[in-house]
Amino acid sequence: MDTPQTLPVLNDTELRVLGSLMEKSKTTPDYYPMTVNGLTAACNQKTARKPVVEYDEQTVVLALDALKRKGLISTATGGSSRATKYKHNFGIVFPVVPSEVAVICLLILRGPQTPGEINTNSGRLYEFENLDDVTEMLDKLAGGDLPYIEQMPKRPGQKEVRYRHLLGGTVPEDDAYDEPQRRSSNSELEDRLSKLETDFAELKEAFDKLMKELS
């Protein structure tokens, strides 16, 4: 497959769906590829998301259709479930490796990040050796003939620059005065909570299916 010469321009919903598929492929592989029900729950997570949203399944389906037309996702068949499941194709369409997908995923789901924030928040997706590895990865993604991210101006009083992705969506307002993120044990807690949310969505889907068969 030839690499596209330009990046797709995605809206906020398409970005949230794509980013959620990227994330869950690594954090909850047992539930990947994902059903619409599970993906909706992933999009609406209260953790590791900025902003928090409340999508219904129809909104997610419309975004999936748009992403599929752009070649960024595909459906998966097989297994015991007859439900249609979805997976992302970003690493197939574009010449990026898992560590690069992890960085892009973080910027899609959490908004602009500093190298330090990326190093802290990436553990569930990819374990970088140190901050220098993150910086090197950011330089690579921001350079070349097809940059995926760009460096943003420093915020007042901040030493580190932030990076944002170049896949479209709403440009976030400057959050220079946001309360600093609490980084200590958030990663492990978010991992556990997101898995519980995915488990619940899958159980709800199975229960609804059983009730339909019994009615």
CB-based burial of residue 152 (10 Å sphere; 0-12 exposed, 13-18 middle, 19+ buried)?
middle
Nearest-Å Rg of the Cα atoms of the chain is: 18
Query: pLDDT value at position 139?
Result: 97
**In the predicted structure, residue 105 carries a pLDDT above the cut 80:** yes
Query: pLDDT value at position 172?
Result: 64
Q: What is the arithmetic mean of pLDDT over 121-145?
A: 95
pTM: 0.80
Helices (H), 98-185: 98-110, 115-121, 131-142
The ranges assigned to domains in the chain are 12-171+183-193
**In the predicted structure, residue 33 carries a pLDDT above the cut 80:** yes
CB-based burial of residue 25 (10 Å sphere; 0-12 exposed, 13-18 middle, 19+ buried)?
buried
**In the predicted structure, residue 34 carries a pLDDT above the cut 90:** yes
User: pLDDT, tens digit, for every residue of 158-200?
Assistant: 788 999 999 999 976 554 434 344 343 455 566 666 667 777 7
Name which of 6-10, 56-60, 208-212 the model is least confident about.
208-212
Q: What is the arithmetic mean of pLDDT over 66-94?
A: 89
**12-171+183-193: what fold?**
Arc Repressor Mutant, subunit A (1.10.10)
Query: pLDDT value at position 184?
Result: 38
Query: pLDDT value at position 68?
Result: 97
Average pLDDT taken over every residue of the chain: 87
**In the predicted structure, residue 119 carries a pLDDT above the cut 90:** yes
